[in-house]
Structure formats: structure tokens, C-alpha cells
Amino acid sequence: MQAQHADDGDPFADPAQVEEEDQRTFVGEATLNAGRNANLTLGTDSLIVLDESFREQPSLNCCGLLPAKSKTTRAIPFFNILWASLTKIDLTIQYATPIGKSDVQVAYMTYSLDPSSTTNAENAKNWVARLLDRAYGVSQRQKRIKVLINPYGGAGKAAKWFTRDIEPILRAAHCEVDVERTSYMGHAVEIAEKIDIDAYDVIASCSGDGLPHEVFNGLAKKSNATEALRKVAVVQLPCGTGNAMSWNLNGTKSCSMAALVMVKGIRTPLDLVSVTQGQKRIISFLSQAIGIVAETDLGTDNIRWMGSARFTYGFLVRLLGKTVYPCDIAIKTEIADKAAIRAHYSANVCKHHQSLKLASTSTSDPSHGSPDNVDTSPNTSSPASIGLPALKYGTVQSPSHPAGH
């Protein structure tokens, strides 16, 4: 027995014909006629641009020596679409196009539409809305970003890289950007401590890993530290010597690609480490090190001009000097089995994705629908949890206990 569509008026209609008509309707809605010789189609994972004018643009082959016939079709991944805007007569699409092996830069295309057709204008408006839905999914659009620039980062090139590689992408994505340069060590701690967490969605550091460290600790100093660390995303845009945070979270050391990842990013929980030293409590991320690894980093701060080579140089100097670092270490293991660690991680990731999915289906404002702002942390609404949560195993001054006690 053939299944029927719920609103089919004719019970004897050929289902194959009905499905074919539905497919034609879908293709028609997914395709926008953007001029005499251009069509824009929303594909599975890319925007397909068919434009006869591409054929007129020069192209080279054979090591760039011989002219070649240009293609009339381009595919732009939805991930690379930054924005689309529509006026009465023009449609403009801004996107990130690859340059070199790992970088991207802003490009745009503009098409003139027929202003006399009301139907075409309405179709174009709906098509643009669908394009932005595909481009951003559950990611928040037009993020409000507080940008901190360490002018000494990347051997003094951080400000230049921001202006050249990062800012154009943020502007093209219609993000609200507030830029501030740090003036001294610990300045980012003060900025983050005083920041209005309702005014920003992201704090982005154009620096190495030091500035995000300061940002985390600044947020941790707030009276509502728990809320602040949940609500404001912390991002590193790789403009420093060591860019471990960007490598680990964005998978790149490219400033422009990291900016694109941030624009399209979804807020994701990150485990932080709490370290105590005397009466001082420090929040850390990625890793903590003692001995030769720590001294290699801290002890080469005066030769930052060497770039990442300073770490190799510092390590070899200390290795050949046979430096000794005496210490006593006491460890209490929370989860010892690797399989149990994986299971714990998977359970929390699934819970987070489930919350995002629920939020994306319930939000009513697609431009600032806040699945990014979903609270996926445990319920800690008691007064004691307004600041940082208490340490489960005490501080460095707490007495250590023998294993098993």
C-alpha cells in the first residue's frame, strides 16, 4: 500500500509524481535568480554560484603560464559565508575565501535584482534568511566581542595582524567589536574583572596564551565568577609566540582562520584548573608545569624576539646544565581508568549538545537566538556558588593524606 501525503486531495495521485513535484518546489525555493546570467543555489553544504561572467575572468594553468578556460560555477562552503544583505535592488554576499595554505580573507559578490517584481523581492528575502540559517546553524550571529590586543605579542606584530587579518572578518560578519590594548602585565585581569558580562558574548585575546590566562583569572575575581565564566566565552586569536590555546581549540595558528572559527563558533564548556600557592588561588587552562618545562617558558621571557625558537634554546641550556628541581608531590586521583574518563567526557558532551539542540528549536529570534548562551553547567544557584566554587580537596596548605585515606 502506497503512503499518501496528509494534504493530498486526490487519493489516486501517483506518489512518484507528487514527490517529483515536491522536489521541484524545493529546488525552486533553494535557487535564486540573481540576474540575467546568474543563479545562486543552496546546496547540501555549500552555496553553489552559477555565473556566466566567471567565464570572462582570466584564469591560468600549467604553472600559471598558459591561459585556461574559466569555470562558470563556484562552490562556497556555508561555513565560509559571513553575511548576506539585501536592499531593494542589490544582494551582497560576504564570505571568507582561502589564500595560501591556511589563511582566509574577506571577499564579496554583488548581484542586482529586479526591483519591479514584488514576488521576486519576497523570494529573495526568504532565500537570504535560509542562507544565513545554513551559514550559522545554532551558532550565535553578530557576536558582541571585546577584543584585547597585547601590543608586545608576536614580537610586536599583534596589532598589525589584528588590523590586517582579523578585523575585516569580524566586520564582514557584522559583529559588534570593542577593541582595547593592554598596557602592562596583569592589565587583562583588571579589564576582565570589571567587564559587564551582559554587554559581551566573547572576550578575544590577540596575543599568546598569557592574555587568555589573565582573562580567566579576571573573570574568576568577579563577585559573580561562576556566572561570568559560564556566560562569556574566552577565545585566543593566535598573535603570540606560543599559541597552544588556538591550536587546541581552533586547530590553527592562522589569525584569519581563527577569527572565522570564532565567528562561527558555538560556546563549549572547558575544564579549568585551580592552583593554590600560599594564600593565592590561580585559575589555569590547558596545562600546568613545574621544573624544566616551566623554567624554559618563564626563564626565556627576555628573549621573546627569538619567537618559538626561544623554547628550544631554553630547554637545551637547562638540559646541558643538568638543573635539578627537588619537590614533594602528593596526588589524589578522581578517575583512574581511561575508559571511565572517556565515558565521563562523552556523557557531558552529549548533555551539552542536547541542550544546544533544545535551545535551537525553542528560540524565536534567529539573529540573536541564544543557543550559545545555554547554561549547561550543573545547578549551582546557592549563595555559596556565586563566586568560585570551593575546592573539593582543599588548598596547598591543607594536610595531605596517605593513599587510601
* Rounded CA separation 244/159 (Å): 19
**366 vs 203 pLDDT, higher one:** 203
- pTM of the model as a whole: 0.77
CA Rg value for the chain: 27
* Residue type (1 letter), 39: N
Taking only the tens place, the pLDDT of each residue in 116-149 is 665 577 888 999 999 999 999 999 999 999 999 9
> What pLDDT, on a 0 to 100 scale, did the predictor assign at position 2?
43
Mean pLDDT of 63-77: 71
Per-residue confidence band for 356, with pLDDT thresholds at 50, 70 and 90? low
Range in 175-189, 343-357, 360-374 the model is least confident about: 360-374
Per-residue confidence band for 37, with pLDDT thresholds at 50, 70 and 90? confident
> What pLDDT, on a 0 to 100 scale, did the predictor assign at position 286?
84
Helices (H), 98-166: 118-136, 153-156, 158-161
Per-residue confidence band for 58, with pLDDT thresholds at 50, 70 and 90? low
Q: Which helix (H) or strand (E) covers residue 60, if one does?
A: strand 59-61
Range in 210-224, 256-270, 294-308, 391-405 the model is least confident about: 391-405
Residue 162 contacts residue 147 (beta carbons within 8 Å): yes
Length in residues, the chain: 405
pLDDT at 343 over 60: yes
Cβ atoms within 10 Å of 161's Cβ, excluding its own = 21
pLDDT at 152 over 80: yes
> What pLDDT, on a 0 to 100 scale, did the predictor assign at position 60?
54
User: Taking every pair of C-alpha atoms in the chain, what is the biggest distance, in angstroms?
Assistant: 89
* Rounded CA separation 323/331 (Å): 24
Per-residue confidence band for 378, with pLDDT thresholds at 50, 70 and 90? very low
Start-end of CATH 2.30.29 domains in the chain: 28-136
Task: Report the share of the chain in percent with pLDDT over 90.
Answer: 47
Cβ atoms within 10 Å of 257's Cβ, excluding its own = 22
Taking only the tens place, the pLDDT of each residue in 266-315 is 988 888 999 888 888 999 998 888 888 888 888 888 887 787 788 899 99
> What pLDDT, on a 0 to 100 scale, did the predictor assign at position 112?
87
> What pLDDT, on a 0 to 100 scale, did the predictor assign at position 395?
83
For residues 326, 328, 333, 334, the Cα torsion angle rounded to the nearest 10 degrees is: -100
* Rounded CA separation 110/117 (Å): 19
* Rounded CA separation 312/317 (Å): 9
Mean pLDDT of 177-200: 97
Per-residue confidence band for 25, with pLDDT thresholds at 50, 70 and 90? very low
Cβ atoms within 10 Å of 175's Cβ, excluding its own = 24
* Rounded CA separation 197/213 (Å): 17
Active site residues: 209
For residues 136, 138, 139, 140, the Cα torsion angle rounded to the nearest 10 degrees is: 100
Residue 50 contacts residue 39 (beta carbons within 8 Å): yes
Q: Phi first, then psi: what are they for 139, rounded to 5°?
A: -70, 140
Mean pLDDT of 329-342: 86
Q: Phi first, then psi: what are they for 207, rounded to 5°?
A: -175, -170
Taking only the tens place, the pLDDT of each residue in 72-130 is 899 999 999 999 999 888 999 999 999 999 999 999 999 988 766 655 778 889 999 99
pLDDT at 373 over 80: no
Name 99's bridge partners: 103
> What pLDDT, on a 0 to 100 scale, did the predictor assign at position 242?
79
**13 vs 258 pLDDT, higher one:** 258
The candidate with the shortest Cα–Cα distance to 389, out of 266, 235, 224, is 224
CATH topology of domain 28-136: PH-domain like (2.30.29)
**402 vs 396 pLDDT, higher one:** 396
Mean pLDDT of 168-174: 98
* Rounded CA separation 162/239 (Å): 8
> What pLDDT, on a 0 to 100 scale, did the predictor assign at position 118?
57
* Rounded CA separation 267/202 (Å): 9
Start-end of CATH 3.40.50.10330 domains in the chain: 138-285
DSSP secondary structure code for residue 248 in this structure? H
Would you list the DSSP string of 148-208? EE-TTHHHHTHHHHIIIIIHHHHHHTT-EEEEEE--STTHHHHHHHH--TTT-SEEEEEES
Q: What is the mean pLDDT of the chain?
A: 82
Asked if the 138-285 domain carries CATH number 1.10.3720.10, the reply is no
The cell numbers describing 104, all together, are 582566509
Task: Report the share of the chain in percent with pLDDT over 70.
Answer: 78
Mean pLDDT of 154-175: 93
Question: For 130-155, b where at least 16 C-beta lie within 10 A, e where not — what string?
Answer: ebbebbbebbbbebbbbbbbbbbbbe
**250 vs 308 pLDDT, higher one:** 250
| Residue position matching grid coordinates 514576488 | 119
> What pLDDT, on a 0 to 100 scale, did the predictor assign at position 369?
45
| Residue position matching grid coordinates 531593494 | 88
pLDDT at 17 over 70: no
> What pLDDT, on a 0 to 100 scale, did the predictor assign at position 233?
97
**404 vs 287 pLDDT, higher one:** 287
Mean pLDDT of 352-366: 56
How many whole angstroms from its chain centre is CA 176?
Answer: 15
* Residue type (1 letter), 384: A
